[in-house]
Chain A
């Protein structure tokens, strides 16, 4: 199963996080919000201007920018 980054998902894609390589204060904040290895994430939509991205995770909706999504590694589930 190849590893891709979160920002390459298409709306409707479901994936599981393998590694979070974000650095800095955003890292902890992402952990707090549930973006940890092992979590299931689904891309719901992209904003009208293309960025940020809205995901479904841990039963709620979270949006983050592509900058951060680029550093989160996942593999597709379906």
Chain B
């Protein structure tokens, strides 16, 4: 039980950092887009086409939030409080929930394109809908499947 926690602590730290970082990127790009400011060309393209982070202020907030949950958990576990594991568990659940939401939204788009042949979606490809909420959520899914029965809180 204690050995498992070692893995979880590292997981919490990494996920926390990545979620928060990507979340801030998404938040800032989303926010500045609504203000009319845009980042230098190469940076924008890198963010959009390599990291697949669409500008979205609220989506960014959600990512930062999930990241905070993980980091909170890491902080508690690191300082010896075993209850911190709860944050890792809930962090994983939240990332799965939001991943699910965006996957279903993408599915809705798929229906629009292929079933309804909606011209508003001309040139849309499924990659347009890929975003950190989804691919980071996939990482969480792996973690969940591995660990789901190992979230012991009783010492």
Do A and B have CB atoms closer than 8 angstroms in the complex? no
Q: Measuring CB to CB, which residues of chain A are less than 8 angstroms from any residue of chain B?
A: none
